[in-house]
């Protein structure tokens, strides 16, 4: 509808709250982050120090480790979690028996807070009473009877990333919704040709939900870049910084009042996010059109 002159005030009033909030919590923080990343701001005073924060960060082993760990999380999600979710979505597609129940059940970890999930899985991995060790012992891996998964330098990252597979339901639900929109005509035609279920999935469903699959990969990358609670509550970045990730690193800088340095880490994090998103878009776009 075209706006009448006397309604311009109303229109401005309606968009003002959203715009103010957006400026206050998106635009200003990002600008602020960028500007203070070139200073030694500690909460009281700030002096311009050029690129010092950035060079110091990249010379810190634990910071580089945080970046590689974040990339490791993103890669696991994109190469394991999302493809697994695709397989489950294909299996549950075409309203197969009990699909709604499985959809609900698999989605539950997504609606539970990450703090509660982190505490739950920290208990699962506990050396004394955790279920993981008990089950391993039960099926014959008795070496692991008192193994401290999250406290051991070699197994901490694997344990963290292994548990993250419980989020497969989120991506599964997105792809399942997409399969519901595919016309039955395609499958009827394939049935006449005598195609098996696997052939139908491979040649009809998979190509049609390709764009949603790529979208899930993009979402998985964003989530794993900004994740905080699991590492913070389960290992606090330890042992020996082995499981450090970017947001926990920023949090630690904040708690010692090195705010400029922390913001430089934030700028790097946003830059990594932008680079990943742009390159994924480019990669996936060329894939879609081929």
Partner 1 sequence: MQRDLSSNFYFIFKWVIIISFVFYAVFPFLWLVLASLKTNAELLDDPFKLPAVFQFQNYSNAIREAGLGKLIINSLVISTSATFLNILFSSMCAFAIARHTFWGKNVLFLMITAGILVPLNALIIPYFAIINFLNLYDTRLGLILVYCAVGLPVSTFILTEFFKSIPKEIEEASFLDGCNFAARYFRIMLPLALPGLATAGTFQFILCWNEFIYAMLLTSSTDIRTIQFGISYFTNQFFSDYVGMFAAVVISILPSITVFVLFQERVINGLTAGSVKG
Applying the rule CB under 8 A, the residues between 71 and 110 that interact with partner 1 are 84, 87-88, 91-92, 96, 102-109
Out of 166, 182, 190, 206, the only residue in the binding site for partner 1 (CB under 8 A) is 166
Q: What residues have CB less than 8 Å from 228, skipping those under 6 apart?
A: 114, 245, 247, 248, 251
- Each as own residue / partner, the long-range contacts of residues 65-71 (CB below 8 Å, 24 or more positions apart, any chain) are 65/241, 65/242, 65/244, 66/237, 66/244, 66/245, 66/246, 66/248, 66/249, 67/246, 67/268, 67/272, 69/157, 69/243, 69/244, 69/245, 70/224, 70/225, 70/245, 70/246, 70/269, 70/272
CA–CA dist 1, 5 (Å, integer)? 13
Work out whether 278 is an interface residue with partner 1 (CB under 8 A).
no
Which 15-34 residues touch partner 1, going by CB under 8 A? Answer: 15, 17-19, 21-22, 24-26, 28-30, 32-33
Out of 14, 48, 58, 141, the only residue in the binding site for partner 1 (CB under 8 A) is 14
Shortest CB 125 distance to partner 1, Å: 11
Stretch that binds partner 1, among 10-18, 139-147, 150-158, 184-192 (CB under 8 A): 10-18
109 near 225, Cβ under 8 Å? no
Shortest CB 231 distance to partner 1, Å: 12
Work out whether 204 is an interface residue with partner 1 (CB under 8 A).
no
Work out whether 222 is an interface residue with partner 1 (CB under 8 A).
yes
Work out whether 111 is an interface residue with partner 1 (CB under 8 A).
yes
Work out whether 131 is an interface residue with partner 1 (CB under 8 A).
yes
Shortest CB 1 distance to partner 1, Å: 5
Shortest CB 290 distance to partner 1, Å: 22
Phi-psi label, residue 147: left if phi above 0, alpha if psi -120 to 50, beta otherwise: beta
Give the binding-site size for partner 1 (rule: CB under 8 A): 89
Which 245-264 residues touch partner 1, going by CB under 8 A? Answer: 246-247, 250-251, 253-254, 259, 262-263
CA angle 231, 234, 238 (to 5 degrees): 70
């Amino acid at each position: 509808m075209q706006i009448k002159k006397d309604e311009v005030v109303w229109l401005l009033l309606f968009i003002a709250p959203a715009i103010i909030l957006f400026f206050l919590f998106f635009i200003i923080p990002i600008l602020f982050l960028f500007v203070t990343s070139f200073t030694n701001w500690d909460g009281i005073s700030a002096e311009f120090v050029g690129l010092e924060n950035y060079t110091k960060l990249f010379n810190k082993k634990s910071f580089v480790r945080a970046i590689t760990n974040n990339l490791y999380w993103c890669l696991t999600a994109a190469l394991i979690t999302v493809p697994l979710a695709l397989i489950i979505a294909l299996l549950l597609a075409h309203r197969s028996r009990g699909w709604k129940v499985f959809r609900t059940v698999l989605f539950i970890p997504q609606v539970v807070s990450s703090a509660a999930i982190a505490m739950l899985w920290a208990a699962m991995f506990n050396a004394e009473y955790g279920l993981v060790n008990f089950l391993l012992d039960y099926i014959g891996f008795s070496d692991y009877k008192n193994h401290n998964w999250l406290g051991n330098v070699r197994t901490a990252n694997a344990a963290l990333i292994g548990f993250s597979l419980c989020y497969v339901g989120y991506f599964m639900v997105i792809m399942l919704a997409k399969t519901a929109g595919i016309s039955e005509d395609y499958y009827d035609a394939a049935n006449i040709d005598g195609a098996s279920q696997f052939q139908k999935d491979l040649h009809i469903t998979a190509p049609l939900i390709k764009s949603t699959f790529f979208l899930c990969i993009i979402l998985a990358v964003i989530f794993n870049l900004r994740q905080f609670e699991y590492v913070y509550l389960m290992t606090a970045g330890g042992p020996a910084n082995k499981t450090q990730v970017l947001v926990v690193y920023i949090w630690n800088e904040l708690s010692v009042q090195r705010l400029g340095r922390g913001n430089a880490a934030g700028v790097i994090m946003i830059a990594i996010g932008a680079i990943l998103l742009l390159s994924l878009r480019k990669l996936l776009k060329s894939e879609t059109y081929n």
